Chain A
Amino acid sequence: MHRTKIRVRNLRLCFGKKEVLNGIDLDIYENRVMGLMGPSASGKSSFISVINGMINFEDHACFKGQVHIDGFGELSEKTDHVALRKRVGTVFATPIPLPRSIFENVAFGSRLKGVKKRSELNALVAESLKKAFLWDEVKNRLSESALKLSGGQQQRLCLARTLALKPDVILLDEPCSGLDPISTAKIEEALSELKRDHTIILVSNNTKQIARASDFVAFFYMGKLIEFGPTVKVFTNPEQKLTEDYVLGKFG
Chain B
Amino acid sequence: MRINPRLIDKLMRGGLTFQALFTVAILVAIVLIIFVKGFPYVTTEFIFSYPEDMGRLGGIFPFLVSTLFLGVLSIAFATPLGIGTAIYLTEYTKESSLTRCIRFGVESLAGIPSIIYGLFGFIFFVIKLRMGWSLLSGTLTIAIMVLPTIIRTSEEAIKAVPNNLRTVSFSLGATKWETVTRVIIPSAAPGILTGIMLSIGRAVSETAAVIFTMGSSLRLPASIMDSGRTMAVHFYILAREGISLEKAYATALVLIFSILVINILAYYIMHRMIARFS
Contacts and interface: CB of A to CB of B under 8 A. Distances in A.
A52 interface: yes
Contacts of A100: 186, 277
B187 interface: yes
A99 B277 contact: yes
Given A82-B173, A112-B178, A92 B168 contact: yes
A41 interface: no
A85 B170 contact: yes
Contacts of B186: 99-100
A57 B170 contact: yes
Given A99-B277, A100-B277, A145-B278, A109 B172 contact: yes
A94 B168 CA distance: 11
B93 interface: no
State which size class the interface on A falls in: 20 to 34
Contacts of B164: 92, 94, 96
A86 interface: yes
Contacts of B174: 82, 108, 112
Contacts of B170: 54, 57, 85
Interface in B153-187: 164-165, 167-175, 178, 182-183, 186-187
A98 B182 CA distance: 10
A48 B166 CA distance: 18
Nearest to B179: A112
A162 interface: yes
A161 interface: yes
B178 A89 contact: no
Interface in B47-74: none
Contact of B278 (A54, A82, A85, A147): A147
Interface string A77-111: 00000110110011010101011100000001101
A165 interface: yes
Q: Is the interface of B mostly helix, strand, loop or mixed?
A: helix
A85 B168 contact: no
Contacts of B175: 82
Contacts of B171: 52, 54, 85, 89-90, 92, 162
A75 to B, nearest CB: 16
Given A85-B172, A89-B171, A90-B171, A98 B278 contact: no
Nearest to B274: A99
Contacts, number: 60
Interface residues of B, number: 18
B216 to A, nearest CB: 47
A82 B174 CA distance: 6
A155 B174 CA distance: 20
Q: Which of B164, B165, B168, B183 has the most CB of A within 10 A?
A: B168
A79 to B, nearest CB: 13
Interface in B64-92: none
B274 to A, nearest CB: 9
B278 to A, nearest CB: 5
Contacts of B278: 99, 145, 147
B173 A54 contact: no
Nearest to B171: A90
A86 B278 CA distance: 26
A201 B173 CA distance: 18
A111 B173 CA distance: 11
Nearest to B94: A59
A45 to B, nearest CB: 12
B188 to A, nearest CB: 11
Nearest to B174: A112
Given A96-B167, A100-B277, A161 B173 contact: no
Q: Which of B168, B173, B277 has the most CB of A within 10 A?
A: B173
A98 B183 contact: yes
B167 A54 contact: yes
Contacts of B182: 108, 111-112
Nearest to A94: B164
Identify the 8 closest CB pairs spanning chains A and B, nearest first.
A86-B173, A85-B173, A90-B171, A109-B172, A99-B277, A96-B168, A96-B164, A99-B278
Given A82-B175, A113-B173, A145-B278, 16 more contacts: A52-B171, A57-B167, A82-B174, A86-B173, A89-B172, A90-B171, A92-B164, A92-B167, A96-B165, A99-B277, A99-B278, A111-B182, A112-B174, A112-B178, A145-B277, A165-B173
20 contacts: A52-B171, A83-B173, A85-B170, A85-B171, A90-B171, A92-B167, A92-B168, A92-B171, A96-B164, A96-B168, A98-B169, A99-B186, A108-B182, A109-B172, A112-B173, A112-B178, A113-B173, A147-B278, A161-B172, A165-B173
